[in-house]
A and B are shown apart, each in its own frame.
Chain A
Amino acid sequence: MVDNIVSLALRYPVMSLATMMPLFLILMIRIKRIPLENDLKFVYWFCLFFFISDIPLWITTGLKINNQTYFYIRELINHLLIIGFYYFIIGLKRTKKIIVATEIILSILGLSSFLFFTEIPNQLTTIYKAVIIVLIFVHFNYIIKNLKIKQISDYPYFWISSGILIFSSGSILIFLFFTFTFELKPLFKIYSQFLDVLVILMFIFMGIGFLKAKKYYLNE
């Protein structure tokens, strides 16, 4: 199994890097002693979850076990966590209520589709991504309207949101046309690696956000 995983990692270095990115981020936070103020803790725990939950995917792939169900559940949780993250950083009561309602609806929708359909409803992920994109727009609008932040490039959540936006917008069509992307063998590898690139990009942006956090909270 270990040999299989190692050869897989060597064959797909981008995928390996995508898996390691959240771990690198966690190590950077620890080494640089970045203050995990307020909602950055949430992002930190998200990174940890992202990394840990990726390990079973490697193991099952190494053991050549079908992990599509696990992949779907993991995607579902990841997206729900990202949506939940906006509950904390958007300081508007009405939006918070909408986020809670959306979380509940999407959880029910995700689980029921999974339980009642024979095929894994990967296309549903598109809805999650669309919701996330909308929330990012709301967040950006909130930043502009509130103007509490003097230098937006020093605001950690701006970088985190930017990373999530690139990840979500870059992968939305891939999940919408799941049957043409993941279910066709020759294209699967390309799309899968492209998704890994998006993950790497997202964590790079998050990393910048965390690096900015130190300066931001010192100036605040």
Chain B
Amino acid sequence: MNESPTFFIIAGTVILILMSFSVILFVVFYQRKQLTIEIEQQKELQELENKMQRKLLENSLDVQELERRRIAKDLHDEVGAILSAAKMGFNELSKKIKGVQEYESSVSNTKSLIDESISLVRSISKDLVPRTLEGFGLISAIDEFISKIHKATHIQFEFNNKGLNENERFKPNVELALFRVLQELTNNTIKHAEANEIKIELAYADDSLIFNFIDNGKGFDFEQKMNDPKLGLGLRNIQSRLTVIDADLKIISNPVSGTQTKIIIKNPK
């Protein structure tokens, strides 16, 4: 009678201990599995959130571009037309008072002011909407942009494009983003870097567009600029624009050799 319960106790105890170990192992593996699932879900959620944020950013940039276009059109069509009409009217008036010496200098001054205003309106309108970019592509737009800046600031530009035709075209959003980034970088160089040389390189290799912007001015601390909410607005704009087109941005800056900005855009066509 005693043997039977002894066997039962020993066998039962062994089974129970084995079951305990199984439960412990099960908890470890199950928890790990659950955690992996949760991490994956969180990742998916994060990706979705990033996508949404990018879409929002894209929309806000689109709205910005549309607003620029509207302002440019209004300036060109409305203000430009009014100024042209004013110029015509003034020409008529100046014909009538021709020969009256006391008005001659005022007439000439006013005429040149009206001409200046007309050309300024045209220039602002052109700056707001890069027509060359839309019509002839990135390389022509960069060429036009740097010659204009060179005239205004006397900064020396060197522009090299490797493996690209003059009329090479990319996705419209890529072209626009890169052109706006170039404008922002040039603006930063003029305003803060005190540089006298800017080197721009554009290359296309392995389905990637590589854009390099190097100046010889005084550099800056990238991290500090990005973390300061009052500073780095331009840099943040650059980042936003590049996020939308899935581009990689790398900025190397130091006081001796200036700043180098490298942008890589995959599948730009």
Q: Decide yes or no whether B119 CB sits under 8 A from chain A.
A: no
Query: How many residue-residue contacts, CB under 8 A, span A and B?
Result: 58
Tell me if B28 and A153 are in contact (CB < 8 A): yes
Whole-angstrom distance between the alpha carbons of A165 and B20 in the complex?
A: 6
Tell me if A144 and B20 are in contact (CB < 8 A): no
Min CB distance B15 to A, Å, is 9
List which A145-187 residues lie within 8 A (CB) of chain B: 147, 149-150, 152-153, 158, 162, 165-166, 169-174, 177, 180-181, 184, 187
Given the interface pairs A143-B31, A150-B35, the reply to whether A177 lies near B9 with Cβ below 8 Å is yes
Whole-angstrom distance between the alpha carbons of A19 and B18 in the complex?
A: 25
Please tell me which one of the listed residues A147, A165, A173 contacts residue B38 in the complex, with CB atoms under 8 A apart.
Answer: A147
Residues on B with C-beta less than 8 A from A137 are: 23
Q: Number of A interface residues, CB 8 Å?
A: 25
Whole-angstrom distance between the alpha carbons of A177 and B88 in the complex?
A: 117
Please tell me which one of the listed residues A152, A177, A187 contacts residue B28 in the complex, with CB atoms under 8 A apart.
Answer: A152
Min CB distance B71 to A, Å, is 52
Main secondary structure of the interface of A (DSSP, over half): helix
Tell me if B16 and A170 are in contact (CB < 8 A): yes
Q: Decide yes or no whether B170 CB sits under 8 A from chain A.
A: no
11 A-B contacts (beta carbon < 8 Å): A140-B27, A147-B38, A152-B27, A152-B28, A165-B24, A169-B16, A170-B13, A174-B9, A177-B5, A177-B9, A180-B6
Known: A166-B21, A169-B17, A184-B2. 15 other contacts (CB 8 A): A140-B27, A143-B31, A147-B38, A150-B35, A152-B32, A162-B20, A169-B19, A170-B16, A170-B20, A171-B13, A173-B12, A173-B16, A174-B9, A174-B13, A180-B9
A residues with CB within 8 A of B: 137, 140, 143-144, 147, 149-150, 152-153, 158, 162, 165-166, 169-174, 177, 180-181, 184, 187, 194
